[in-house]
Amino acid sequence: MDRDRTTFVVQLYLDELAGTRGERDAEPVISALLAISVRRLQMLCARLLYRSYPRLTRPPLALNAEEMLGSVVERLLRALRETRPKTVREFFALAGQHMRWELNDLARRLDEQVRPLDVHDFDVVAPASSDSGLGPAARRMLDAIDRLPGDEHEALNLVRIHGMTHAEAAEVLGVSTKTIQRRLHRALILLTEELDGLRPGPIPAGGADGTTGTLGEGP
């Protein structure tokens, strides 16, 4: 269905919705309204998500437009039980508002999560009083790294210990940079679970290496 036809039918459903009385009468009209406009809603979700909230599309959230659309439709189902947009413009403005609220909620929850542990948060070569030259925290971290699954251990070793870029590590292992990112992410999550109690203090907003995230390589 083309844009003009969709606009016409959406307006018909809005007119019908305005004349309903009670939730029972409104429910089928709301469902039909959302069904007929779903393609435009998904397009709006994609535009807003990828243009204004690209970090939500990357791990750990890895949100896509279809997942976002499902949440937005649930929001609109609830909103349209009480709100009656009179025009197509008002309807899509309401949808846009709920899209922004959904993405803002996701971004806030993401910011509240504990940042995956970066091995640079610990000074693994710091002098210690023990004969080994490593303190107990550093030894525990190295032991945890050694216990990582093979793929995750290899990726972490190349990137965080040997200082390779994601692209260099990918070339060495014969995989894509996205695979390296996924393996690093899994490795750091596993380390976080085991070593979170050793975190030395608040982590700067930019991270220990001056980046804004653990795994990102830019937008």
CATH of the domain at 51: 1.10.1740
Q: What is the mean pLDDT of the chain?
A: 77
CA distance 9 to 61: 35
Higher pLDDT pick, 30 / 108: 30
In the predicted structure, residue 177 carries a pLDDT above the cut 50: yes
Residues 56-65 have pLDDT tens digits of: 998 878 899 9
Domain edge (last residue) among 95, 112, 129: 112
Residue 54 and residue 104 in one domain: yes
8 lies in the same domain as 59: yes
Confidence check: pLDDT of 41 > 80: yes
End-to-end CA separation in angstroms for the chain: 33
Residue 177 domain boundaries = 119-198
Query: How confident is the model at residue 114, as a pLDDT?
Result: 46
Rounded (5°) CA angle 130-131-136? 35
Identify the domain boundary among 52, 80, 112: 112
75 in the same domain as 174 = no
Higher pLDDT, 212 or 142: 142
Instruction: Classify residue 157 as left (phi > 0), alpha (psi -120 to 50) or beta.
Output: alpha
**Number of domain units in the chain:** 2
Name the token pair of 54. Answer: 């690209």
In this prediction, residue 110 carries a pLDDT of 79
CA distances from 212 to 42, 106, 143, 205 (A): 29, 18, 27, 7
Q: CA dihedral defined by 39, 43, 44, 47, rounded to 10 degrees?
A: 170
Residue scoring higher pLDDT (129 or 69): 69
